[in-house]
Amino acid sequence: MSPMEDPTDQFRLDGKVALVTGGSRGLGREMVLAFARVGADVVIASRKLEACEALAREVEKETGQRALAVAAHVAKWDDCDALAERALDHFGHVDVLVNNAGVSPLYPSVVEISEALFDKVIGVNLKGAFRLTSVLGTAMMEGDGGSIIGVSSPAAVQASPGEIPYGAAKAGMHNITKSFARAFAPKVRVNCIMPGAFMTDISKAWSDEMIAGLGQMLPLGRGGEPDEVVGAALFLASDASSYATGTIVKIDGGMVYGTD
């Protein structure tokens, strides 16, 4: 890079297409908006088509980028295949995939975890990410390459009795991140963001005591604001991270330490 070049240009996504699952709200929404603001066209996927369409309109009005809304239940293999096919047919290529869709239902006790709950948690958090990464990663390999980003959780590395299926799924996300990084090298980079406690719409269900506890437990003294995911997401999606693959990037206010 010559001294005259602007290093922030590495974070641009002009001419790229980014697909975000769980993209209509929370961290997914922030990533969709960020990608569009730096030049990417976007595919917004979630189970609720109306929410995806509303954000697509917002993206197009604010940024002028194209936005495709697609309803998809990523726990269903066929839905993943249909989502990938729709995105590729519409735009011709997908350059960035963010496997952000996630769910972590509460349960009264471990013996009361039903098969349906277990399958749902594994399906949404891991199965869908595996299938979309397989399909779109292969398309990226056959094309000009790309970047795939998983979204995990501290539950992947810090065991919790209240998040056993979820933690297992997110630990699996770490594994497939590293495995696909090798499977798709060198044309496709595969990395993962590990967010901590973020104050998205999900946090509205948290008790005042829980929120106060974050302030005491976390070195940064608070939960994350949704737009604080943007820096890590843009880094991993763009050429700014051109020498990073198989990496887990923690953005957790210091919650996790002593492990990856």
Domain at 122, CATH number: 3.40.50.720
pLDDT at 238: 98
Residue type, 212: A
3-state secondary structure of 246: coil
Do the domain assignments include residue 1?
no
Q: Is 84 domain-assigned?
A: yes
Q: What is the pLDDT of residue 200?
A: 74
pLDDT of residue 2: 54
**Domain assignment of residue 184, yes or no:** yes
Range of the domain at 186: 8-250
Q: Is residue 2, in this structure, part of any structural domain at all? A: no
Q: What is the pTM of this model?
A: 0.94
Closest CA to 180 of 205, 149, 152: 149
Instruction: Tell me, yes or no, if 107 is annotated catalytic.
Output: no
Given a contact cutoff of 8 angstroms between Cβ atoms, the answer to whether 218 and 255 are in contact is: yes
Gyration radius (Cα) of the chain, Å:
18
Within a domain: 17: yes
Which of 107, 166, 243, 257 is catalytic? The answer is 166
User: Residue 99: which of 126, 123, 77, 117 has the closest Cα?
Assistant: 126
Distance CA 123, CA 126 (A): 6
Residue 1: predicted pLDDT: 47
The distance of Cα 207 from the centroid of its chain, to the nearest Å, equals: 26
- 1 exposure class (CB count in 10 Å sphere: 0-12, 13-18, 19+): exposed
Q: What is the pLDDT of residue 184?
A: 98
CB atoms closer than 10 angstroms to residue 161? 8
Q: What is the pLDDT of residues 146-204, one digit of tens each?
A: 999 999 999 999 988 999 999 999 999 999 999 999 999 999 999 999 998 887 766 55
| pLDDT given for residue 183 in this prediction | 98
Number of domains in the chain: 1
Q: What is the mean pLDDT of each run of 10 residues along the chain (260 residues)?
A: 76 98 96 98 97 98 98 98 98 98 93 97 98 98 98 92 95 98 98 88 61 74 90 98 97 77
pLDDT at residue number 143: 98
- Tell whether 256 is covered by a domain: no
Give the pLDDT score at 56.
98
- Answer whether residue 108 is part of any domain: yes
